[in-house]
Structure 1
């Protein structure tokens, strides 16, 4: 029995996206206790919110990448999908910089570059599949918020980050 191409593509984009999520989560194993030890701004969300939010965002991201791939295929959508993979790599790296290696300044630099790449990915996706691009809007908003939180926490915790 041959597996349909669409199912392989769907599975592939989810696998790649959640593999990146798992690599980031590996760096965040002790994130809850580390987060609890930090001086946080009053507007910082509880640690319990991050897992569900990121899960929803990763689902939307994977689905968006799949829709772009399905619309044009890898060859015709290479620039857009390459941007997607690059931002996914920076997303994963952020977890290691902030939680794994406790490098607040480098994590902040990473997240700013991540924001730029998310915008570039969103624009590239928009040119191919508008719904896919819109699926990245919550991700952009959350990473924008996370960048402000990263900066505030880094500045408030010079001994830890």
Structure 2
């Protein structure tokens, strides 16, 4: 879809520099769309299902999650964009597929955890997400060290989120 979108503008006399920046906008919009869709299922305020759960002592205040995820989604978008800019190759295609898979798993976690309120299933989703993030870092590194490093804060945060998800699951098993 992204390639088709950029090719559409390429054939309409849009300069290479404009295409480059247009593709960055597409990546930012894609990542923040995933964020917004995930947020539609996320309710953490007073009286919410999440608010009623027993949480571990290391659970951060709800106000921390929004700013952290905003920065992370920007880094995710920049990383994907840097890989997209590389010359077409099997490695680039593989890395872009991994990029899309991690976005889908990221969205799925919000849907499973908050939408379906399935903490245990969400834990398995986030473990797979964490593994896919590590795989992305490994493959992206071969194309762009900067793109790989942009995913490191994401990997660290998802490591923490995995621990948090697992602790919440254990504390709320009925």
Normalising by structure 1, report the TM-score. 0.92
Aligned residues: 158
Aligned to 1:12: 26
Q: Distance in 1 between matches of 2:83 and 2:44?
A: 33
Runs of 4+ in 1 over 6 A off after TM superposition: none
Question: What is the CA-CA distance between 1:8 and the residue it aligns to?
Answer: 1.9
Q: Report the more deviating stretch, 67-76 or 13-22.
A: 67-76
Verify: 1:21 aligned to 2:26, yes or no.
no
1:118-157 CA distance string (max 9 Å, x none): 0011111100000110010000000000001001001111
Name the counterpart of 2:76.
61
Q: Match for 2:58 among 23, 43, 51?
A: 43
**RCO (CA 8 Å, sep 6+): is it higher in 1 or 2?**
1
- How far apart are 1:76 and its partner, in Å? 5.9
**If you compute each CA radius of gyration, which structure gives the higher value, 1 or 2?**
2
What per-residue deviation string (whole Å, max 9, x for no partner) do you get for residues 51-74 of structure 1?
A: 000000000000011111112358
Give the TM-score, by structure 2 length.
Answer: 0.85
Counterpart CA distance in 1 for 2:56 and 2:126 is: 18
Give the conservation status (yes or no) of the 8 Å contact 2:83–2:147. Answer: yes
8 A contact 2:91–2:139 mirrored in 1: no
Secondary structure of the structure 1 residue equivalent to 2:29: helix
Which residue of 1 is the match for residue 6 of structure 2? none
Q: CA RMSD of the aligned region, Å?
A: 1.6
Q: Confirm whether residue 123 of structure 1 aligns to residue 135 of structure 2.
A: no
Paired residue secondary structure (2:143): coil
* Deviation string, structure 1 residues 17-62 (Cα, Å, up to 9, x no partner): 111111111111x233333221111111011100000000000000
Gaps of 5+ in 2: 1-12
1:80 corresponds to which of 70, 76, 95 = 95
Preserved CA contact (<8 Å) 1:74 1:81: no
Determine helix, strand or coil for the equivalent of 2:40: helix
Is the contact between residue 38 and residue 157 of structure 1 (CA under 8 Å) also seen in structure 2? yes
Q: Which has the higher helix share?
A: 1
Residue 101 to residue 125, structure 1, CA distance change in 2 (3 Å): same
> Cα deviations across residues 87-133 of structure 1 (Å, max 9, x unaligned)?
11000000011011100111001001001100011111100000110
